[in-house]
Copies of this chain bind each other. A is one copy, B any other.
Amino acid sequence: MFSPLIDELMRSLRCLPGVGPKSAQRMALHLLERDREGANRLANTLHKAIEGVGRCQRCRTLTEQDLCGICNNLRRDSTLLCVVETPVDVLAIEQAGSYQGKYFVLMGHLSPIDGIGPDDIGVDALLALVQSEAVTEVILATNPTVEGEATSYYISERIKPLGVVVSRIAHGVPLGGELEFIDGGTLAHAFSSRRPL
């Protein structure tokens, strides 16, 4: 309905998650009518990021350096290794502020249906890392979903033979959460994982 170039821009914007036809239209017209400078900066940054951003050689997270900021930080405790699914999980844990160890980012989880196996989430690299560095405890912090649980179980079975402690972060009622608003699955888990006082 618009001119070919504008239609093409609208189609291209659909690669962004959560952007449907209506949003793409609003975005394209906004950029062309009111923010060509922002659009140009976005295009340049996209090119630079595609070109420059790769994986941290140690923890697999996204970074344009050989080693990410956390892997490169000598003050972090290398004996603790926290395994998470994505870079956003690292961010969430860092923002909580209490963890001082290092990370390993799977960049996904096991999903046989989608053909995602141990190789795709770097399990061999994880095992090599646990052995080459003096890791004493691996903390599994994958999501409490079916896939996340299966991934944690698989990894724990692979790591245990190395004689390293493997733990799983606790799941249950969030601090400050009111029981009446917690979903049934979480509540059932909180009961079955209860601990003696």
What residues make up the interface of A, taking CB atoms closer than 8 Å to B? 1-6, 8-9, 12-13, 15-18, 23, 25-33, 35-36, 38-50, 52-53, 62-65, 68-69, 86-88, 91, 94-95, 107
Contact indicator B38/A12 (Cβ below 8 Å): yes
> What's the nearest-Cβ distance from chain B to residue A32, in Å?
5
> What's the nearest-Cβ distance from chain B to residue A138, in Å?
23
> What's the nearest-Cβ distance from chain B to residue A106, in Å?
12
> What's the nearest-Cβ distance from chain B to residue A14, in Å?
8
Contact indicator A30/B17 (Cβ below 8 Å): yes
Across the interface, which residues of B come within 8 angstroms of A46, CB to CB? Answer: 9, 12, 31, 39-40, 42-43, 46
Interface residues of A, dominant DSSP: helix
